[in-house]
Chain A
Amino acid sequence: MKQKIKFKGTKFLIVVITIYIIIGFIDFNGAINSFLNTLSVLNNIWPLFIFIILLTTAINYFLKPKHIMKHLGEDSGKKGVIYALIGGIISHGPMYAWYGVLDELRNNGAKDELLIIFLYARAIKIPMIPFSISVFGTPFTIAISLYILIFAILQGKLFTYLNNKFYK
């Protein structure tokens, strides 16, 4: 039952803490204000972290690796693309909060092309559409949303092509 946790980003965290310590010596108040900014962001997004843990639990509970392979794996076809697009559009919160879920899906057989599509489709945010319309207008909002969908798919395809050409 006990699993050894393999931490990710430890070196990165050490580098950032070192930067804070250096800045603290030069501009103590600046370092404190930066840290307070961090706490304020954390205060806003912690509910999302709980949602992410519950979503990962649901993925582990309901989906077996063979299901993930079927819907998001190598042979998922157009259905996989549609799932990735819809998933990207309806996902909320900052991108980095989703890395854990995507890593889990990837480890269970989801293909990189669909992760790329998911990550770009996140540029369409349904709750933000009224703001987009008020700033840019309806025709622009429709145009940019369609381009985002098209380029999300193109990016996925190009990623697979370049990956096969240069890394295999």
Chain B
Amino acid sequence: MDIDNNSNHLKKSFFKGLNSFIAITPMLLGVLLLLGLFQNYITTEMLKTLFGFNTLSDILAGTLFGSISSGHPITSYIISEELIDSGVSLYAASAFVLAWVTLGIIQLPAELSVFGLKFTILKNLLTLLSTLLIAYLSVLTIQVF
């Protein structure tokens, strides 16, 4: 009797999990298709032209670059190394790596459809602010110590 109940509960839990995944598939497909477009039309070379003015603009450019880029986080470190080697500041490179994993312009519509407008706006504003501050403070910290 108990085994029957457990297997029923497991079945129910699985279908609930499966259904909640199926429910977000249009959102996931939308993000993946948009990702494909960005990877095809926005190149690293294009984005590199944004750097090299001053600390604030470098942090902003790094954040913008990171938030519109996408892919495995390892790629962000490879690009960061390239950026540092080509003379881009550490501020910009750290903002870029951080924005890569925390901000995602491509996934904003998806976030909106799952969490709603209020959550999405507040969350992204706070994330943007944190990314700018952390990039600045981290470089400052290693310069002091």
Contact = CB atoms under 8 A, between A and B. Distances in A.
Interface of A: 1, 3, 5-13, 15-17, 19-20, 23, 30, 33-39, 41-42, 44, 49, 52-61, 94-97, 99-100, 102-104, 106, 112, 115-116, 119-120, 122-123, 125, 128, 131-132, 134-137, 139-140, 143-144, 147-148, 151-152, 154-155, 158-159, 162-163, 167
Interface of B: 9-10, 12-37, 39-41, 70-74, 77, 80-81, 84, 90, 93-94, 97-98, 101-102, 104, 107, 109-115, 118-119, 122-123, 126-127, 130, 133-134, 137-139, 141-142, 145
Dominant SS at the B interface? helix
A168 B125 CA distance: 19
A125 B77 CA distance: 12
B17 A56 contact: yes
Contacts of A155: 123, 126-127, 130
Given A9-B26, A100-B23, A140 B94 contact: yes
Dominant SS at the A interface? helix
5 contacts: A7-B26, A57-B14, A61-B10, A100-B23, A103-B115
A8 B27 contact: yes
Contacts of B13: 57-58, 60-61
B37 A139 contact: no
Nearest to B16: A60
A10 to B, nearest CB: 5
Contact of B21 (A37, A49, A123, A135): A49
A12 B104 CA distance: 15
Given A5-B19, A56-B17, A60-B13, A125 B122 contact: no
Contacts of A162: 122
Contacts of B110: 9, 12, 96, 99
A144 B24 contact: no
